[in-house]
Amino acid sequence: MDILTKRPRGTEDKLPKEIYKWHTVEKIAADTAEAYGCKEIRTPTFEHTELFQRGVGSTTDVVQKEMYTFDDKKGRSITLKPEGTAGVVRAAIENGLFNDALPLKTYYFTRCFRYEAPQSGRLREFNQFGVEVFGAPSAASDAEVIALANDVINRLGVKNISLEINSIGCPTCREEYHKALIEYYGKYKDKLCDTCLERLEKNPMRLLDCKSEICGSLKSDAPKMLDYLCDECKEHFESVKRRLDALEIAYTVNPLIVRGLDYYTNTVFEFISNEIGSQGAVCAGGRYNGLVEEIGGSPLAGLGFAMGLERIIMVMDNQKLDFAQEKGCDLYIASFDEETNIYAMTLAKKLRSQGFWVEFDTAGRSFKAQMKYANKINATYCMVIGSDELANGSAKLKRMSDGEELPVKLDDGFANRLNTLIMDISL
C-alpha cells in the first residue's frame, strides 16, 4: 500500500504553499534572460538515448551511471533527459534554427532525471534553468553568459556565491595536456578508483572531477591545463577575464574545474555556495564549440550554463530571503441559499474577468464555516450576500484586517471601487 502514498526516492513534491518561491525564481530568471535577448525553448522530456551518449559523452558519470533509459514498445532506446543542452542542440539542428540570424540565444526551464544517490541538494528528478547561445565565438559571449547567470543570482538577492572559472583550451592544445595527465596519474595506477582507471586513457581530464577520496587527493598536484594553453586559447581566456573585470564580476581561477570532453572548449565556470553542504554548485557552464558538429550539425560555436533551481532555492531559504509573496484572495463572497449563491457566483465571474481573485462557497458550508474559510485563505475583503442585499443591489464590504465595513453599490462601478480600496490597503 505504501507504494501508492510514497513518492519514489529522490523526487520532490513542490507544494502549493511554497510554489510562490518557484514562481519568483522562474520569473526573475526568464526576465533576466530576455533582457539579454534570449528566447525560451521547450524540448521533449525524453529523447533517443544516442543523443545523450553523443551530446553528454559516453565517458561521463551521467551517461555511464545516471541515466533513466528504457526501451519503448517498439524497442527503441529512450532516455529521460538528464540535462538540457543536448536536446536544445538537437532541436536547433532539426528545426533549422542555425540558419536564422546568429547568435541564436535560448533559455529554458527543464526537469532533469539522473539516477544518483539522493541526498540534500541531490535529487533524481530536479529542475534546471538553462541558457544556450550559438554562433558567438568571441570572448564577449563568454563574459555575457557568465554575467547573465550572475545577474539572475543578484536579482534573486542571493549573497555569498563565488564564481570560479577556468579554461580547458581547445582539442589541439589539450593533446599535450592529456599526455601529461596520463603520465602523472599513471604513477598512481594502483591507487585510482575503478572508474578513473578505466577513463585514464580515454578521457584523462575526467579524473580531475572524481569525487572519491584518493583520486580527489591527487588532484592538487596534477598538471594544470592553464599551463598548456595555446596562444589563441590563452588570449581568449585573458579577454574573458578582462571583460569580467570591466563588469566588476568577482571570480577566482580554479584550474580544477573541467568538463573532460573534446567538444567542450575554452571557458568553464561554476557558481558555488558554501552554505548548503557539499552539493554547493548552484550553476555550471562553459563553452562547447565542438558540440553542434558532434550532434550532426555544421560546426558552430556554442556555450551556456545550467542552474540547479532546488539548490538556488535552498540557498535562498537558508539566507531567509524575501521571496515575493503571492497576493492573497481579494474578496470572499458569503451566501445563504441557492439564489444568493448563484448571485455570488455571477459576481465572482465578473470580478475575476477584471483580474480579481474572488472566492465564494462551493462546498455547501454554513455561513459561519464560510467566514472561517475566508479567514483561512487570508481574504482582504469579505462581503455577505443575503436576500436584502439582493433586493437592494447593495452590500457591505468588510475589511478583514480591522473589521471596518464600507457600504457599496453592486453596480457596474463596483470593480473600480474594489480596485481603489485594494490599492489603498497595499500602499
Q: Across-strand partners of 304? A: 132, 286
Where in 110-149 is the site for ligand ATP (CB under 6 A)? 114, 116, 121-123, 126, 128
User: Which of 49, 59, 279, 394 contacts ligand ATP by CB under 6 A?
Assistant: 279
Cell 455561513 identifies what position? Answer: 367
Distance of CA 189 to the CA centre of its chain: 39
The reply on whether position 284 binds ligand ATP by CB under 6 A is yes
The reply on whether position 308 binds ligand ATP by CB under 6 A is yes
Where in 29-58 is the site for ligand ATP (CB under 6 A)? none
User: Closer to ligand ATP at the Cβ: 63 or 192?
Assistant: 63
User: Closer to ligand ATP at the Cβ: 282 or 395?
Assistant: 282
Nearest distance in Å: CB 195, ligand ATP = 14
Euclidean distance between CA atoms 337 and 359, whole angstroms = 16
DSSP track, 52-116:
HIIIIITTSHIIIII-EEEE-TTS-EEEE-SSSHHHHHHHHHHTTGGGSSSSEEEEEEEEEE---
Judge if the upstream peptide bond of residue 16 is cis by omega within 30 degrees of 0: no
The reply on whether position 219 binds ligand ATP by CB under 6 A is no
Nearest distance in Å: CB 211, ligand ATP = 8
- Measured from each CB, the residue nearest to ligand ATP is 308
Nearest distance in Å: CB 273, ligand ATP = 10
Closest CA to 394 of 407, 412, 381, 380: 407
User: Closer to ligand ATP at the Cβ: 285 or 356?
Assistant: 285
User: Closer to ligand ATP at the Cβ: 295 or 314?
Assistant: 314
Using the rule CB under 6 A, give the single segment among 232-240, 293-301, 303-311, 399-407 that binds ligand ATP.
303-311
Break the chain down into helix, strand, coil percent, rounded to 5.
45, 20, 35
Applying CB under 6 A, which residues contact ligand ATP? 83, 114, 116, 121-123, 126, 128, 279, 281-284, 306, 308, 310-311
